[in-house]
Amino acid sequence: MSSAQPHSCPAPAEPVVRAASERAARLEVRNLQVVYGSAIEAIRDVSIRVEPGQIVALLGSNGAGKSTLLKAVSGVLDDEDGEIESGVITYGGIDLAGSSADQIVRRGLMQVPEGRRLFAPLTVDENLDMGGYTTDKRTLAQRRAVVFELFPRLAERRRQISGYLSGGEQQMVAIGRAMMAGPKFLALDEPSLGLAPIVIDQIYAVIERLNRDLGMTVLLVEQNAQRALGIAHYGYIIERGRIVLDGVAEKLENNPDVREFYLGISGATRKSLREVKHYKRRKRWLS
């Protein structure tokens, strides 16, 4: 488990805590291959596992395959002409192959996409309503109260047009909109992208709180390895569409190659990635 100290935040409203305290199921990806346009291989033979109640970080540079993996898990590859060529994705032992994005959301697995993708002409309140469109009014009000407690700034701006908000506020709306669906498993794609450090602090404090107070499982896709490993229990590093290293977060933080090439901390004489022959590669869950 990561050595990061938890942030102190008050507990959210009790009725929603009870609803969200049901643990997510295990997510398991085995030997996954994804191809775009029937020609371009984006990820190959990728295997990861996310246990209930964990924060798991998926780290890698731009174009490494992080977002593709998240889209495969969330059932939205079709939007970009992507296709699962081989491999298995299971959630709670149920094969997600062939499941629509809507069906996956109803199972409790929700994605917050890179770039927020809000309904820009709609207000904050209206965006939140879209996240809970299948929910009854009473539960919707309870979940909205939790979102506003997590992000007090959104309560102040609830009637403002989302497209006019700052980047940090838009990210808060994106996470809040996902929370309105009552997820047990939250997949976050680059939540710190383009944000000021003080806003990143706020976003990461909320992610920790969702995990700690609500028992939510989180798959955190990030380029910001230091921030992600600081709150994660376990981590995977993906390069050129393959998992090249994994381990408990603290172990990855102390790995010399990770420290040099992902955390920017160099105690060695190496100057470039070319000087590192390879990461230790291990086969996982191939049976």
pLDDT number for residue 136: 83
Overall average pLDDT of the 255-262 stretch: 81
Share of residues in the chain with pLDDT > 90 (%): 61
Question: 21-52 pLDDT, tens per residue?
Answer: 456 789 999 999 999 988 899 999 999 999 99
Q: Specify the higher pLDDT residue, 259 or 192.
A: 192
The angle, 0 to 180 degrees and rounded to 10, between the axes of the packed helices 197-214 and 167-179 is: 10
In a domain, 285, yes or no: no
Give the domain CATH number at 232.
Answer: 3.40.50.300
Considering the entire predicted model, what is its pTM? 0.82
pLDDT number for residue 249: 95
The whole-chain average pLDDT of the chain stands at 84
Record the tokens describing residue 21, joined without a space. 């305290």
pLDDT number for residue 14: 38
Residue 74 burial by CB count (10 A; 0-12/13-18/19+): exposed, middle or buried? Answer: buried
In a domain, 2, yes or no: no
In a domain, 287, yes or no: no
pLDDT number for residue 39: 87
Range of the domain at 52: 14-275
pLDDT number for residue 267: 58
Overall average pLDDT of the 89-99 stretch: 91
pLDDT number for residue 283: 32
- Is 276 a residue whose pLDDT tops 50? no
Q: How many domains does the chain have?
A: 1
pLDDT number for residue 238: 94
Buried b / exposed e along 20-49 (16+ C-beta atoms within 10 A): beeebbbbbbbebbbbeeeeeebbbbbbbb
In a domain, 6, yes or no: no
